Amino acid sequence: MNYSVAIPENLNEDLHNHLIRRDGQEDLCFALWNPSHGIVRTTALIQDILLPQNGERRVHGNASFLPPYFERAVGEALKENCGIAFLHSHPGPGWQDMSDDDIAAELGIAPRAFGATELPLVG
């Protein structure tokens, strides 16, 4: 099975505007997604972006989210019957692997996202 993500152009533009900061720092956000199943591929269709509100995340070179932000994402996912996606930026040229902090953040919320929505966390 192959896995992919599809983001509508208008949401991609909104994500770009949020995640690629002028000050060069990382940023993050949650989004909602629905699965699309094919014969050999499952695609996460991003349908909505949940930008952080005041006090829901910290930007400090890196970026981190606070529990109320994840809780809001879970609530919205349940209301919309969707899965949760977690997106963050690594400003700079070229591909950058996930850091240990990135991995820990996703491993920390993946079981809770799955438990609430019965869909895997898309990261």
Identify which of 41, 21, 35 has the alpha carbon closest to the alpha carbon of residue 84. 35
Spans of all domains in the chain: 2-117
**Residue-level pLDDT at 122:** 97
* SS3 of 93-110: CCCCCCCHHHHHHHHHHH
* CATH code assigned to 2-117: 3.40.140.10
**Tens digit of pLDDT at every position of the chain (123 positions):** 999 999 999 999 999 999 999 998 999 999 999 999 999 999 999 999 999 999 999 999 889 999 999 999 999 999 999 999 999 998 777 788 888 988 999 999 999 999 999 999 999
**Residue-level pLDDT at 57:** 95
Q: pTM (2 decimals)?
A: 0.93
* SS3 of 3-54: EEEECCHHHHHHHHHHHCCCCCCCCEEEEEEEEEECCCEEEEEEEEEECCCC
